[in-house]
Amino acid sequence: MATIKNATRIIRTLWQSPNISRAEIASRLGFDKSTVTVEVNSMIEQGLIIERSEGQPGKNGGRKPIPLTINKDYGYIIGIAIQSGHYSVVAVNLAGDILEMKEEDESITKDNLALSVQLIYWEFRNRLSKYPGRLLGVGVGAGGLIDPKDGTIIFSVPLRISEPFNVVEEISRKLDVPFFIENNANCCAWGELAFHKNTELKNILFALVEFKQAVVPHAEYGGVGVGFGIVMNGKVHYGSNSFAGEFRSVLCTEDNGIQVALSKEDLSNILKDPSVFERFASELARNMAMLVNTLDFSRIFIGGDIETCGVDFCHILEKAIDKNWMYPVKRQIKIQYSSLGSQAVAFGAAGMLIHNLFSLNKFPVSRETS
């Protein structure tokens, strides 16, 4: 019988390329066709894989290959986004459809992180009891320096963590499903990769810009958070120390913990004073333009709260990129707002969890497998 690892590789291949046949799976993975057939048939019985209508005949005629796809209702994931004084939660199925969501003004920090995740988990587990399938895990996205390998939070302003803290082991003991935590902007990048499978996403930049902190007194950085999720060759790029994507404007001249050159007083009015927002948007766009042109990104996603502020940041960024580019050669760079807006981190945390389940061979391939 094929191992759990091989079964997971089959599921992951179907996740990345829906509607391929058993023969195509065997070819891509280098498996015997009989091995794939046995595993696929078992997962069809479990309700994890669905057969579609027959495809086109093979090159030499004969029986038409049967396309396969993952059953979107086999399971669902809870994604949680934590900001300063606020959190949001979504539950999504395996197609990325949002089943339930919630937003709440509540402070989650190091002291109550484990308990808060546990309470959210049980609330949503009860909510989701009306849906078919099983709960596959819980993912959390938060601002800060977070080691993706073991979930150690090295530093986080929203969570008020100033020295390494690993909450994964504690929370995992209290939940009966896998749990992972990741930097919020990286979660957004994983969300795009996980659920937009019909689009070729190789080299992309996700800019997460959050202003909800501005309604909460936050002396550390003025209430505005900016972070980047960087995807290179189809994979989230973490850098040498897992700190890739952390942002501070090249125009900053003071060591004051602010990410841009504006003062804390100015940033406290960013949602009230259009002139402050325009200065912020212009500075952010100039910094992003250099990064986009240097690394040659083809797609840029803008997420968080910025698209609701009444200024077309995509247009500002497009102009900044053109101004920063010194050659007469035209390029194809698509800039767009994330379709999820303020839910981008929670949704992305769900995508991050799916990636981890696959990469760590923890995706449940049977009702009995945990």
Residues of the chain with CATH 3.30.420.40: 75-188+345-359, 197-340
Q: Which CATH number is correct for 4-70, 1.10.10.10, 3.40.50.300, 3.40.309.10, 3.30.1360.170? A: 1.10.10.10
Does 11 score more than 50 pLDDT?
A: yes
Q: How confident is the model at residue 202 (pLDDT cuts 50, 70, 90)?
A: confident
218-270 pLDDT, tens digit each: 445 567 889 999 999 989 999 999 999 999 999 998 887 789 999 888 888 88
Q: What pLDDT is stored for residue 81 in this prediction? A: 95
pLDDT in the model for residue 317: 97
Quote the pLDDT of residue 309.
78
Of residues 310 and 163, more confidence is placed in: 163
State the chain's maximal CA–CA distance in angstroms.
73
**pLDDT number for residue 278:** 93
Tracing tokens 């300063």 back to the chain, one arrives at 84
User: pLDDT, tens digit, for every residue of 211-231?
Assistant: 865 444 444 556 788 999 999
Instruction: Kindly report the pTM of this predicted structure.
Output: 0.89
pLDDT band of 157, cuts 50, 70, 90: confident
Mean pLDDT of all residues in 75-91: 93
- Superfamily of segment(s) 75-188+345-359: ATPase, nucleotide binding domain (3.30.420.40)
331's tokens: 């390029």
Which option is the CATH number for 197-340: 3.30.70.3270, 3.40.50.720, 3.30.420.40, 3.30.565.10? 3.30.420.40
Q: Write out the residue limits of the CATH 1.10.10.10 domain(s) in the chain.
A: 4-70
Give the pLDDT score at 123: 96
Residue 122 vs residues 78, 87, 170, 206: alpha-carbon distances, Å: 11, 16, 16, 31
> Given a cut of 80, is residue 54 above it in pLDDT?
no
At residue 2, the pLDDT reads 45
Residue range 56-81: mean pLDDT, rounded: 82
For residues 18 and 34, give the distance between their C-alpha atoms in angstroms, rounded to a whole number. 20
- Residue 59 is predicted with a pLDDT of 58
Q: Does 158 have pLDDT greater than 50?
A: yes
